[in-house]
Amino acid sequence: MNTTSNRRRRIGAAAILGLAASVAATGTGIAATTPPSTVHATAVTAAAAPPPRSFQGALPAPTGPYAAGEDVIHLTDASRPDPWVPSSGPRQLTVTMVYPAVPGTGTPAPYMTLAEAAGIVQRQNLPASSGVTPQTLSGVTTHAFDGARPQRGKYPLVVLSPAYEDPRMVLTSLATDLASHGYVVALVGHTYEDSGETLADGQTPPCAICDAPATLDFDSVAAGRALDESFVIDQLTHGNTAWPLAHLIDKHEIGTAGHSLGGAAAAATMIADPRVRAGVNMDGSFHPDPTPGRINRPFLMLGTTANTDWEHSWAALGGYKKWLTVAGADHFSFSDLDLLHEQAGFPTPPLAPERGVEITREYVTAFFDRTLKGIRSPLLDGPSPNNPEVHFQH
């Protein structure tokens, strides 16, 4: 396994946001190296600096025939203490449910709570000059609607897990699009593993495991996330007590997908839970690498061309499988982050962030259409002239 690339994908979120904050704060990110002879010129330039940016984030609208309804639910797993802060009591999870809804119903859903947004701004030390404040971040347009009237019928369930350090909301673009194409989506917030998830009591605890990633056992983190996912599936498929709209879920058609460490969690969940019929890893290292015979159900690997440590994992996968790479993408092209970075004026990769979101949506939806609905899409058969950035590795 390529340890260097693993570490890059574990801590990349903090690194790129830190760079963005530095650029926004100083204009160059290297102000400390300014020679004395240019101090006066620098001061004049600073005095003439433009006013703070006005950040107005917006995610792309869903592409399917349905609207995206949204509910936020809070679950408590009384069978186990929190693995990171045992003194807090049983494991608590906040989950965003996104579902097929009737267009024109409900009210626009916020991207996140003010406390969750404040956690991101504080953890990443985002300067006021960036325009990214708790208010503007929580107010990002999501195209999801609180209290929207659900469509009739039953739909496959897809459980989504975000990257290490990232809150669940950064997969909202994918979640709303899946819902618009006839899926119920559970966006799982893994408490104490990111910048903050607002719990049932209104508290938003910060990350308990983010300060020393080099010493963290990521195999254990992925295994813990698999327990979170299976618990969420339990709660959503046994009656309607956890979520009043649980009757929408076809409990026989369940998939899981994740970005970065969330992708490792998707694989770990498939190994631990036979109810999950298909999985997707978006640019994440496997923790641990699966061994032959452990995953014999459909699996999609979607990542960057820089991802070089999937060969062993690929060989171990059984059943229907695809490995796709996206030219010009970076680690965050598969979540909302690059798009929001662009809208805030931060650096982005060669691949346009809008294309990153579009490609992720199209291929993940096509994969679940085939594996959970039995709808074959030519998109997965080979290279497409409409998506020249996508390369079939195998």
Within 10 angstroms of residue 83's Cβ, the number of other Cβ atoms is 20
Which pTM value belongs to this model? Answer: 0.88
Closest to 321 measured CA to CA, from 388, 380, 273, 386: 380
Instruction: Tell me if 300 sits within 8 A of 322, measured CB to CB.
Output: yes
176/100 Cα distance (integer angstroms): 9
The Cα–Cα gap between 133 and 24 comes to: 13
**Interhelix angle for 353-372 vs 172-180, to 10°?**
50
Tokens representing residue 268 in the block: 């770990």
- State whether residue 80 is helix, strand or coil: strand
pLDDT score at 110: 97
* Residue of 117, 119, 163, 126 lying closest to 18 (CA atoms): 126
Residue 286 is encoded by which pair of tokens? 């496997």
Q: Which residues of 262-272 are buried (b: 16+ CB within 10 A; e: fewer)?
A: bbbbbbbbbbe
Q: How crowded is the C-beta side of 29, counted as CA atoms within 13 Å?
A: 11
**Positive/negative CA dihedral, 333, 337, 343, 349:** negative
Structure tokens belonging to residue 47? 């005095």
What pLDDT, on the 0 to 100 scale, is given for residue 52? 63
What distance lies between CA 170 and its chain's CA centroid?
A: 5
Q: What is the pLDDT of residue 309?
A: 81
- What pLDDT does residue 50 have? 57
pLDDT, tens digit (0-9, with 9 covering 90-100), for 167-212: 999 999 999 999 999 999 999 999 999 999 999 999 999 999 999 9
Q: Return the SS3 of 172.
A: helix
Return the bridge partners of 323, or none.
Answer: 301
- Do 148 and 101 form a contact (C-beta atoms < 8 A)? yes
DSSP letter (8 states) at residue 106: S
Ramachandran class of 278: left when φ > 0, alpha when ψ lies in -120 to 50, beta otherwise: beta
| Residues 114 and 204 sit within 8 Å (Cβ to Cβ) | no
Residue 58: its pLDDT value, please? 97
The DSSP element (H or E) to which 268 belongs, if any, is: helix 261-272
Which residue ranges of the chain lie beneath pLDDT 50?
1-47
Tens of pLDDT, residue by residue over 377-394, are 899 999 999 999 999 997
